[in-house]
Amino acid sequence: MEISTLTVYHCLAFVWYFFVIYSIICLRTEERPSEVFLYGGQWKYLTVLNLFVSISFWTLYTYNRELVYPKSLDGVIPLWLNHAMHTAILPVALLEILATPHHYPAKKKGVILLGCTAFLYIIWVLWIYFVTGEWVYPLFASFSPAGLGAFFISNLAIIVCFYNFGEFLNRMIWGDSIVILDYKQKGK
């Protein structure tokens, strides 16, 4: 993709992200169910912090929507905004893979950074539970402490699989471009 087209695409994706975040922030507070937006507000939800959660959200939603998106939110969050947060982001992410080659860090460094990010989010979720006595996602209430730990670890394994799959797709699509990027960086 040409640089100008790629720049326009990235600018549009950036504007879309902030439009979605702005739309979430502007939801009328008197219509928000109090149990949903307690301590941490919308910033406790992984969707708001990082829109690339499409697959996990829709999997859990299909299984039992009350575990991740209670029906009480239907009157607060418009359907288009739900799909903007949980559906539209998947094609945007796939288009990103097709639009530009990405230079992944060394495997160990990438997985460590990914693990640290996941760990920080888990700490945030646990902190909210400690302060409020309520889980960010009702799903967590159904686990014992050991089950919750196993759930977090298994999700980290899934995240690492997606990371590896993204790296694999990047190499399959861009192949030699990655080598060229490596070569240019070594020459500097």
Q: What is the pLDDT of residue 148?
A: 94
Q: What is the pLDDT of residue 1?
A: 59
CB 118 within 8 A of CB 156: yes
- Collect all residues with Cβ–Cβ distance below 8 Å to 48 and sequence separation of at least 6: 21, 24, 42, 85
Q: What is the pLDDT of residue 18?
A: 85
User: What's the average pLDDT block by block, 10 residues per block, for the chain (188 residues)?
Assistant: 80 86 71 52 53 78 87 84 84 84 90 90 88 85 94 90 90 72 53
Both tokens of residue 93?
A: 């992410």
Q: What is the pLDDT of residue 187?
A: 54
Q: What is the pLDDT of residue 99?
A: 84
Q: What is the pTM of this model?
A: 0.70
